[in-house]
Chain A
Amino acid sequence: MISYTRQPYYLEGTHGKLFCIYFSPSEISQHPVLIFSPFAEEMNKSRRMLSQQAAQLAEMGAPVLMFDYFGTGDSEGDFADASWEIWVSDLSIIINWLLESNTTTFNILAMRMGALLTTRISPSFHKFINKVVYWQPVTSGELLMSQFYRLKLASDMLGKDSGLTLKDIKNQLQDNQHVEIAGYSLNPALAQELSNTKLQQIESSVLKDAYWVELINSEEKPVPPASQRVIDSLCEDGANIHVKTVIGSQFWSVVELVDVPQMHAITNQLLTR
């Protein structure tokens, strides 16, 4: 096992400082890994699993970079000011930093919404991408947003029950107003941009050697048909995607913190030589 240090630092982003943690192994023997985190509450709930993953990869000799998107976590800015365009433009700064510190190509570990963000990696970086590992990628930003709106409907239902409907939320966003959901003030621009993003928009040059890890409840239930359709269509367009399944609880959405060690085991295998 290789020793490593956790180096927290701030990187100057396009709209404010971005909080980064660099897991730096004493001996580097693997490609560096850049982690793309999920969205809002899913990000909070998965922080522990992602951070454990980073530590395990570092112990195997891979430098790992985790960062908080603008307006989230310990980065500067309010969530209310966060937009997809800011996150996309900050991405180039993050990747440049990674390439400056490590002259090799790099691997990507992207979870849930993080996968949607990989569709917007500047083409000039595509040649530096080695492997891509997706953890239960979100295939449609629109679906992710619907699930997020549902949080508000559910909390309304459990609380004062004002009869709020999905239409009310969508109307409010369309009128260019922020919507408060589970403590997050959602910028209408972010909602709009995310809703327009689909994983299928990705260029196949990003997915030359990609792994799609899907968490399932039981052996009898393979990858959901909706995901399979996206995988098939991406492969037809020239992507090379291998599907892996892991049995366990969906740790980004369950109430208590759960660990899925199998997820780490398979990821360690995929991202190290």
Chain B
Amino acid sequence: MRVDCVICGKGCLDKNSIGINKKLLGEDIDNFYCMDCLAEYLGCTVQELLDKIEEFKEEGCKLFE
């Protein structure tokens, strides 16, 4: 299923982008952000989001690859 960024329209968000959206905004969200727009929305950096993704992967979270 194709998922695009609700802010900038960037297409085909990857599994990790979708995963971090769900982890930080809730599992039941309908709208997803690309990494750049998510970072801006949350007031953090893309690197901080990438670091979070790595931590979730190390914990074995199935939302990430």
The answer to whether A and B belong to the same complex is no
A interface residues (Cβ-Cβ under 8 A, vs B): none
Name B's A-contacting residues (CB within 8 A): none
